[in-house]
Amino acid sequence: MTTQNTPYTSPSEIKQIHANLVKGFKSGITRPLSYRRHQLLQLARLVQENIPALEDAVLADLGKQRQECTLAELGPIVQACLYAAENLEEWAKPKKPQVEEFRKTWDVTIYSVPKGVVLIISPWNFPYILTLGPLVGAIAAGCPAVLKPSESTPTCSAFMAALIAKYLDPAAYTVVLGAVEESTTLLELQWNHIFFTGGTSIGRKIAAAAGKNLTPLTLELGGMNPAIIDTDCDLELAAKRLLFGQIQNAGQLCVAPDYVLIPRSIATLFKDAVKKAYEGFFPSDPLHPESNWSKIVNVAHFNRLESLLARTRGEIILGGKVDENLRIAPTVVTNVKLDDPLMEEEIFGPILPIIEVENTEEAVQIVGDRPSPLVVYVFTDSEDLKQKFLDRTNSGTLVLNDTFMQLSVYEMPFGGHGDSGYGAYLGKRSFDTFTHERSYINIPAAMEPFFGYRYLPYTDESYKVMTAQAFAEIPEA
C-alpha cells in the first residue's frame, strides 16, 4: 500500500495532466461504449481486488471499522460499476421524442454525448465512495476525469492515486494529490463539469470559481438534518435506527441526523429508549484503549467539537468524554434550545442534541423555517404527517422510519436542495450528470411549400399561417 509520504502534484504537472486529458478527449478515446464498459469493470476490479488494503488505509486515516468501510463505501462502488456497465447501452442510445405531426419527418433526435473533461473534488469523511462514486458516472458518460481527493486522508488518497494509475487508462483518468494550493490551480483551468462534495463555505468558493468559466457544477453539500419523532412510532426502534445513523464514521457524514425534535409528552420515554440503544451498541466504554471506535479526522475538527460540548447549555446524558487519540464518545444532549451553540451549523461529529417541542406541528414549522437540509428524517406511521413534511418543508430527501439507508437506493437521485447543494447522482442520474443532451433535426426539402410563408415579403396570409399557435384556443381551467 502506498505510504502517506507521496508528494503533492506540482502546478506544472497539473496543467500538463489537464492538457493531456483534453487531448485524449478530443481524440475520441473515451467515446466508444466498449471502452467505457471496460473501464467500469476495471474500476470494479480495482476495488474488489484490494478490499483489505483499502480497509487498512481508511483505518489508518479515520479509525473506521472494516465493516463500515466495505458496507458503506466499497460494496456500493462495485455495485455502481456493474449496474452502469449493464445499462450503458440503454442509457446512451439516441432518444426519439414525441413531436407534433407536421414535424415527424424531421428525424428529431436527442443524443447523449459526454460533456468533456471533468473535475471531481471529494472530501475526507467517505474517501472512496465520494471520489469513485462520481467517477462511475463520468466513465459511463464518456468523460475523462481528474480526481482531487482530500489531503486530510493522505493514506487513502495516495493509495487511490496508485490504484487508478494501475487499473484505469492514464490517458483519461488520473489523481491529483494536494491541498488548497493544488485545488486553486485546478480551479483556474477550464473544465466541462465540476463535481464537488464538501462543506457549504468551500462550496460557495467552488461555485464562484466555476462561474468565472461558466462551468456546469454539481454541489453535494450538507446542512443540519433534523429527525422528528412522532407519538405513534415504536420509540425503541426509532432510537436504535436514529443512533445507528448518527454514529456512522463517528458522526462525520453529511446525512447524519444533526438534531431531534420530539413532543414533550414522549420525551422521557424516548430518552430511555436512546439509553437502551446506546448500551446495546456500546456495552463497554467506546473510548476504551481496545475499542475500535472511529476517531475525528484531525485536531482542528476535534477542537471544534470539544468546544461545542463545552459551550452547549444543554444537559449531556450520554457520552461527553474525549481522549488523546482524537476520539469523542457518542454523546446525547437534552434540554437543547434552538439558539444553543449545537444548533449553529452542521455538527459533523458524534453529538446528538434533543429538542423538545409541543407537538409535531411545531416540528414542521421549525424545519420549514430553517435552510433546506440534505435530508429530513421522520419517524411516524402517519400519512398526514408525511404529507405535511412534503408540502411545507424542503430537503434533498425525505426519509421515513430509518436513517442513512437512502444512500443504498441507487434507483433514485441523491442530492441537495438550496443550501444543501444542487445537482444529483446515483444510478442513471450519475450518467446524466456528466452527459449533454445534444438535440438534432434534419429538415427535408418537402417542407418548403409551408416554409414559403416565413420568407420576406410578409403578407396578411403569411401572418395568419405562421402565427397560428399564438391564437390557439385556451380551455377553461
Segment 229-245 shows an average pLDDT of: 97
Mind listing the pLDDT tens digit for each residue in 369-389? 999 999 999 999 999 999 999
* Whether pLDDT at 254 is above 80: yes
Mean pLDDT of the chain: 96
pLDDT digits (tens, 9 = 90+) for 304-361: 999 999 999 999 999 999 999 999 999 999 999 999 999 999 999 999 999 999 999 9
CA distance 320 to 343: 17
Residue 40 has pLDDT above 50, yes or no: yes
Write down all domains in the chain, each with its CATH number in brackets: 11-222+425-436 (3.40.605.10), 226-370+375-409 (3.40.309.10)
Q: What pLDDT is attached to residue 238?
A: 98
Instruction: Tell me the pLDDT tens digit for each residue of 111-158.
Output: 999 999 999 999 999 999 999 999 999 999 999 999 999 999 999 999
What pLDDT, on a 0 to 100 scale, did the predictor assign at position 5? Answer: 74
- The per-residue pLDDT for 1 is 55
Residue numbers annotated as active site: 220, 254
Nearest Cα residue to 38 out of 172, 149, 128: 172
222-254 burial, b at 16+ Cβ within 10 Å, e below that, comes to bbbbbbbbbeebebbebbbbbbebbbbbbbbbb
Q: Which phi and psi angles does 432 have, rounded to 5°? A: -60, -35
pLDDT at res. 466:
94
Residue 203: pLDDT band with limits 50, 70, 90: very high
- What residues have CB less than 8 Å from 430, skipping those under 6 apart? 80, 84, 133, 134, 136, 137, 140
- C-alpha cell, 90: 440503454
pLDDT at 2 over 70: no
What's the pLDDT score for residue 291? 87
